[in-house]
Structure 1
Amino acid sequence: MLGMVDRTSPVPLYYQIAQALRERIKKGEWLPGHRVPPEHELTQEFGVSRHTIRQALASLERDGLIYRQAGLGTFVRSEKYSYPLSFLQGFTEQMEERGLKPSSRVLTLQKRLPEPFLRSSLALPVGREVYELKRLRLANCEPIALETMFLPVTLVPGLEQKDLEKISIYRFVEDDLGLKIIGATQTIEAERPPEDVARFLGLPVDGLTLRMKNVTYLENMRPLCFVDCYYRADRYIFTVSMPRRKTV
């Protein structure tokens, strides 16, 4: 059936088409993972130019509804992942709780001396080394976050001997080392990521991330780690439960 567009309407054609395609996703006609028809098929269906179709698809991509894979085509995204901020969980725990398969790609693991900001955040004396662990975090093989974690070397002995593409750091600390994690402080900001971060996450040049910085604490408020993590804003949302506080 020929897609309907109203050429007498002041609404741009690309926007009308984008809305029609959104409806297909919303109604479940196109399910997550569905391959979007090629541009030439959509130009025939809607009777418009390829440029107009590209504008419509770009609109859906900006909204996080579809994504492109080089050489394979364009596909409908899954729903966004929700991370509640009312309690502390690691990435592995978050994904498993949602029935997803978490995995990681280790990009960097090295020992080094921390700069003053890191040393202060981790309450370390001068000369004490940290592990710098950078991992691409995936859910069902899809890149979701790029995480850099800094941990005092003396707190996590043997870290480099672990399979860091599979294990949860929080579980390693609690189950293997017998330490108790009590909580964290976090800040979250919306940011356009650096070019290398966008590339790892598969984001377009104008893509957005939610950048979370986190200091996790053990008992007696001893810092365990400092985490700097870029989450894909088109795949992730943070939710907060807030009790009412009435002012007098």
Structure 2
Amino acid sequence: MRRGDAVPLYHQIFLALRDEILSGTRAYGSTVPTEHQLSERFGVSRITARRALDELSDMGLVERRRRIGTRVIHRARPAAIDADIDQTVESLLAFGRDTAVRVLAFGAVPADPGVAEALGIDPQMEVLRAVRVRYKDGEPLGRIVSYTPLRFADVLTETALTTAPLLELLLRSGARIGSGSQTISALSADPELVEALALEPRAAVLRVERHVQDDAGTPLLLTIADYRADRYRISVDLSASGGRR
């Protein structure tokens, strides 16, 4: 603690706890030290410790409940991992070629706000939506819902999607993949996924949401894929940046 500093002691404690929460060191749902514990840790009065906790609560980082204590309610964003887009595209193409596919639905639909934002268009503009199930060794592996701009309607047809991966069809049309991002999360299968993937009710699935842009930064594709947790895994090779070891 920097006593005599222009920053009040309670705010210094708040800043220390805030940084722990925002960095994920103090995770969502974890308990925060009590006023008594904070007063001992920082050598301040309980009134000062209480003001720090109040400031965390006012910021929406913690929830304070009598006789239960204070817990973290902020979910820290996971750190991004850089990957080579060319290697990622090659992996996706190989995955598509090594699995069989069944198209459940295909056609033009109005874009909801989330899809519109991902594709850089106005809500309710039409986009191409494809719903597919991929199979490995005759067993369902994942359901993939993809959205692409309507300008690819000539190359993206229901028949074409049964013969080649969607990314390969985009490349055939002249699109150039420039960048992308993906978010991986876990969830329980809803009734539609249970039926599509032959799962037990509320079985665990792995969701991969992927955004792809061309070399000019124009959105090309939004994919939301749900994979069976017992049949699918993701491996990432990591290395130190700048050659550090």
Q: Do they fold alike, i.e. is TM over 0.5?
A: yes
* Aligned-partner residue type, residue 145 of structure 1: G
> 1:148/1:194 Cα in 2 relative to 1: closer, same or farther (>3 Å)?
same
Consecutive unaligned residues in structure 2, runs of 5 or more: 1-82
> 1:129/1:243 Cα in 2 relative to 1: closer, same or farther (>3 Å)?
same
* Aligned-partner residue type, residue 241 of structure 1: D
Deviation at 1:92, TM superposition (A): 4.8
- Contact 2:110/2:127, CA 8 A, preserved across alignment: yes
Consecutive unaligned residues in structure 1, runs of 5 or more: 1-84
1:120-199 equivalences under 5 Å are 120-126=117-123, 128-160=125-157, 162-175=159-172, 177-199=173-195
> 1:238/1:158 Cα in 2 relative to 1: closer, same or farther (>3 Å)?
closer
Deviation at 1:156, TM superposition (A): 4.1
Structure with larger RCO (C-alpha < 8 A, sep 6+): 1
1:47-58 equivalences under 5 Å are none
Deviation at 1:217, TM superposition (A): 1.1
- Give a deviation string over 1:121-164, Cα, whole Å, max 9, x none: 10013553101100011123221110000011113434226432
Instruction: Find the structure with the greater CA-based Rg.
Output: 2
1:7-46 equivalences under 5 Å are none
1:198-217 equivalences under 5 Å are 198-217=194-213
* Aligned-partner residue type, residue 203 of structure 2: G
- Contact 1:186/1:215, CA 8 A, preserved across alignment: yes
> 1:163/1:245 Cα in 2 relative to 1: closer, same or farther (>3 Å)?
closer
Q: Higher helix fraction: Structure 1 or Structure 2?
A: 2
- Contact 2:213/2:221, CA 8 A, preserved across alignment: yes
Q: CA RMSD, aligned part only?
A: 2.3
Counterparts of 1:199 and 1:92 in 2: how far apart (Å)? 26
* 1:110 counterpart (107, 114, 126): 107
Residue aligning to 1:65: none
Counterparts of 2:241 and 2:171 in 1: how far apart (Å)? 34
> 1:127/1:234 Cα in 2 relative to 1: closer, same or farther (>3 Å)?
closer
Deviation at 1:94, TM superposition (A): 1.9
Counterparts of 1:140 and 1:166 in 2: how far apart (Å)? 17
TM-score by length of 2: 0.58
TM-score by length of 1: 0.58
Counterparts of 2:200 and 2:124 in 1: how far apart (Å)? 40
Q: What secondary structure does 1:138 align onto?
A: strand
1:68-83 equivalences under 5 Å are none
Residue aligning to 1:94: 95
- Contact 2:112/2:123, CA 8 A, preserved across alignment: no
> 1:122/1:104 Cα in 2 relative to 1: closer, same or farther (>3 Å)?
same
Counterparts of 2:188 and 2:224 in 1: how far apart (Å)? 15
